[in-house]
């Protein structure tokens, strides 16, 4: 790629980032202001008035209490409001209906998986594999999702993985599958037996902001078969595997203003991921490469192509700051970025000139 084309590509990317979210089909959801939760003997139902949604306030209790409140919402959906404190979850909290919102109390609400539950914590989307329908319009905000991994025996729901039924679903803190137009805001995913947040089975227009993920057994955030989604202000740190794993048809997404720190392997692990924009990332102290770009195994038809990386600060990786591992991974752009103190150099390519570079500072 000629260097003269790089500014044009970067400029187009900037225009995309500055566009209203409505361009991507993402629309804000207006909710009423926070209220002070008071202890009550049971859920408090607020009937819709003047077009407002049905709201149910659930006092401190268990995941079963939340599930019953969801079932009590009308066909048109509604809002579940949780108190500050810990709700113990013994079975997956499944949001497989459209237009449901669950919100906590100023990020002091904890959903914690019970000891030996051996199941996912929160699932947005259908539970069957393969999914037969889409779920849309779900909102999750102001929650801490605690997978309590030290007391769980298995990575997958109920036992060994991929043996049929629910065992296809990993025991993540948050799983989003076969879903569209989903919002996750001000949520923390921690201590899951598998991943922090995982998107799979065909997701589109997922909007995640102000999300933290740490101390998970595998990745902080993983995405498969995900497109046209927007992720901003993520803090993914201290996970045993990668901060971000984009490892199967992760296409046409934007990740911005994100910190990827002190993860066990890569800051970003990418295969079979195309036409994404990564901008304003801090990638530091990761156990392998800062960013690893490759095809899937030996399949040259599954490259990473057309991705733009701009305004990165990549430092103190044990491996290379950025590694392009396969010659099939072409037409990627790196611009306006700095690399410092990486164990195997700033940028490493399996063959020369696979990565178009402009204004890159390699220390």
In a domain, 32, yes or no: no
In a domain, 149, yes or no: yes
Range of the domain at 16: 5-24+39-362
* pLDDT recorded at residue 4: 42
CA distance 306 to 274: 6
Give percent of the chain with pLDDT exceeding 70. Answer: 87
Buried b (16+ CB within 10 A) or exposed e, 42-70: ebeebeeeeeebbbbbbbbbebebbbebb
* pLDDT recorded at residue 47: 61
Tell me the mean pLDDT in the region 98-127: 96
* pLDDT recorded at residue 299: 84
* pLDDT recorded at residue 284: 99
In a domain, 203, yes or no: yes
In a domain, 279, yes or no: yes
In a domain, 34, yes or no: no
In a domain, 30, yes or no: no
Burial of 208 (0-12, 13-18, 19+ CB in 10 A): buried
Tell me, what CATH number does 218's domain have? 2.160.20.10
Predicted confidence (pLDDT) per residue in 353-363, tens digit: 999 999 999 97
What domain count does the chain have?
1
Tell me the mean pLDDT in the region 298-326: 96
In a domain, 285, yes or no: yes
What is the average pLDDT value for the chain, to the nearest integer?
A: 90
Beta bridge partners of 342: none
In a domain, 29, yes or no: no
Q: Decide if pLDDT at 233 tops 70.
A: yes
Q: Decide if pLDDT at 40 tops 70.
A: no
Tell me the mean pLDDT in the region 282-289: 99
């Amino acid at each position: 790629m000629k260097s003269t084309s790089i500014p044009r590509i970067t400029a187009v990317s900037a225009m995309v980032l500055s566009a209203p979210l409505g361009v991507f089909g993402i629309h804000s959801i207006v909710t009423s202001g926070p209220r002070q939760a008071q202890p009550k003997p049971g859920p408090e139902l607020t009937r819709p008035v003047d077009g407002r949604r049905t709201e149910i306030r659930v006092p401190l209790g268990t995941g079963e209490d939340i599930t019953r409140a969801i079932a009590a919402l009308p066909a048109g959906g509604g809002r579940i409001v949780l108190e500050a404190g810990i709700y113990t979850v013994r079975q997956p909290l499944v949001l497989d209906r459209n237009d449901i919102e669950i919100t906590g109390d100023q990020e002091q609400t904890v959903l914690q998986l019970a000891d030996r539950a051996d199941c996912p914590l929160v699932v947005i989307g259908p539970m069957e594999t393969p999914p037969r329908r889409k779920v849309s319009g779900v909102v999750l905000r102001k929650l801490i999702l605690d997978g309590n991994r030290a007391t769980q025996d298995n990575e997958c729901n109920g036992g060994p993985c991929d043996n049929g039924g629910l065992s296809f679903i990993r025991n993540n803190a948050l799983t989003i599958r076969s879903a569209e137009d989903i919002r996750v805001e001000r949520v923390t995913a921690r201590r899951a037996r598998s991943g922090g947040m995982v998107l799979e089975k065909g997701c589109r227009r997922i909007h995640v902001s102000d999300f933290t993920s740490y101390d998970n057994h595998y990745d902080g955030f993983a995405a498969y078969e995900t497109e046209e989604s927007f992720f901003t202000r993520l803090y993914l740190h201290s996970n045993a595997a990668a901060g971000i794993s984009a490892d199967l048809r992760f296409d046409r997404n934007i990740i911005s203003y994100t910190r990827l720190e002190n993860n066990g392997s890569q800051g970003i692990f990418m295969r079979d991921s195309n036409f994404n924009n990564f901008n304003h990332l801090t990638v530091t102290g990761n156990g392998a490469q800062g960013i690893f770009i490759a095809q899937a195994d030996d399949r040259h038809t599954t490259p990473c192509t057309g991705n733009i990386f701009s305004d990165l600060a990549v430092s103190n990786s044990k491996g290379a700051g950025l590694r392009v591992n396969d010659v099939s991974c072409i037409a990627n752009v790196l611009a306006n970025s700095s690399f410092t103190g990486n164990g195997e150099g700033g940028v490493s390519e399996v063959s020369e000139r696979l990565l178009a570079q402009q204004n890159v500072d390699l220390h």
